[in-house]
Structure 1
């Protein structure tokens, strides 16, 4: 257990540095995009930074998930005297924690930019009162549930990538050598299509109703309407994917020296 904790800390430290680089690039990009209108720099910077947060979150999820998969099959890491299940959990959890850390520093930075914007426009007291009313109306339980939903959504992105990689390797071991590589790629494409279809259905039936709300306040005040269903759906999906991946990496996936 102590060894797996050390592995988690080592992996998270490396991913922590990567997150900082992503954050710096995002902040520099947002600043550069405000240069054409320096007289409204704080107003534009907060809005642009918020927009880029969605873009950079997606980019980081893609980058970190692919990087995590290389570690899962890396022979050097897999030679560490810890079982494959513990290593996979340490790898996935360190990726998830880095994703959460990225979101936290984005939120803090956005709020800081909003404060600067309000100071320059004399609206800070009004905005603080509005935020306080929203938190009061929503409630602590719903706020915690919403944050948990964001974490589960991030985990739902990492796990299918592992499933595609592991299942392709596992099934490929039972195929002829000549056609093995082609069949592995074909199987991975089929699984990817299935996962995308499931993701699309989740988006249409669970996520889109949230987006249709007219304002953040309306979303916040209606958390109780969609939150339980979303939490349940993503939690069940994550558990199924996690258990499947743990079985595959333990029983059917071998480390490769050049991966």
Structure 2
């Protein structure tokens, strides 16, 4: 059997070039918009107006920071989409399925490598952002390493738990997106293969659209029911005003949903996808 470490390394290196490409495009985008913002300065410049909405527009470092925040959102969404595409290429690749490892093992390593890849690009963006924030703070004659009144009423434990909760939510969100995309793709191919009509791209698109709509509706209904049960439970037992931690509930939902969808995906791969690819 191929080792887990070797499989993970191969997948990670294969996907890392997409992370580097996205970071490079983001850098060029920030540089280009920064030049346009400097050349066409003024209140009528849409680039400056959008960037100033995040951090202000007192100097050039504010402009760079604002553009970085703006492009990071689009870069991360684009990269997430690229990872979904790469995941499905690997899941349905005859070359990868012929590796002496089970289809379930390949799927799990595939998803984990994508999560680590997301962490890779996220950490680089955070490090660069902290560098820019530090320089921007000094440009305003503010020492970023000296404590301020911000957050003084929040204990270290509460701050650490809040950060962990946010990270768990982000990871859970990525996991459930990857798992849902895989489920939709695998179910689409499985259902399309069983239909009496000719298996064409149009048929697969229709089946996929139906599955996505049904899946989103079910997810929204479940989310509403869970949040309603959670808030009703808290308020029924509370004798004073309380803070409702919906972020923690969302993180728990994402992780449970990703695990359940992952189990279904592994079963689909073992029963339908893996035998068909191997017998080609």
TM-score, structure 2 normalization? 0.76
Q: Any idea what the Cα deviations from partners look like across 1:177-212, whole Å, max 9, x if unmatched?
A: x433354332211111123335666888999xxxxx
Coordinate RMSD, CA, aligned: 2.9
Q: Which residue of 2 aligns with 1:211?
A: none
1:23 aligns to 2:16 (yes or no): no
Structure possessing the higher relative contact order (Cα contacts under 8 Å, 6 or more residues apart) = 1
* Counterpart contact for 1:149–1:231, Cα < 8 Å: yes
1:135 Cα offset (Å): 6.9
Q: Which residue of 1 aligns with 2:126?
A: 107
* Counterpart contact for 2:88–2:185, Cα < 8 Å: yes
Any residues of structure 2 matched to 1:6-155 within 5 Å, and which?
6-35=6-35, 36-37=37-38, 40-125=59-144, 128-129=147-148, 133=152, 136=156, 138-155=158-175
Q: Which residue of 2 aligns with 1:241?
A: 261
CA distance 1:202–1:129, shift in 2 (3 Å) = farther
* Counterpart contact for 1:5–1:90, Cα < 8 Å: no
CA distance 1:238–1:109, shift in 2 (3 Å) = same
> In 2, Cα distance between the equivalents of 1:122 and 1:147?
31
Look at both structures and tell me which one has the larger radius of gyration over its CA atoms. 2
Unaligned runs of 5+ in 1: 208-221
Unaligned runs of 5+ in 2: 40-57, 228-241
> In 1, Cα distance between the equivalents of 2:65 and 2:144?
18
* Counterpart contact for 1:164–1:192, Cα < 8 Å: yes
CA distance 1:11–1:223, shift in 2 (3 Å) = farther
> In 2, Cα distance between the equivalents of 1:205 and 1:123?
47
Q: What SS is found at the alignment partner of 1:93?
A: helix
* Counterpart contact for 1:142–1:223, Cα < 8 Å: no
* Counterpart contact for 1:206–1:226, Cα < 8 Å: no
> In 1, Cα distance between the equivalents of 2:258 and 2:141?
45
> In 1, Cα distance between the equivalents of 2:60 and 2:263?
48
> In 2, Cα distance between the equivalents of 1:95 and 1:234?
16
> In 2, Cα distance between the equivalents of 1:151 and 1:14?
21
> In 2, Cα distance between the equivalents of 1:68 and 1:142?
30
Q: Any idea what the Cα deviations from partners look like across 1:90-109, whole Å, max 9, x if unmatched?
A: 11111111011111111111
Higher helix share: 1
> In 1, Cα distance between the equivalents of 2:221 and 2:75?
24
CA distance 1:122–1:201, shift in 2 (3 Å) = farther
CA distance 1:28–1:202, shift in 2 (3 Å) = farther
Number of residues paired by the alignment?
Answer: 242
* Counterpart contact for 2:84–2:181, Cα < 8 Å: yes
Q: Which residue of 2 aligns with 1:210?
A: none
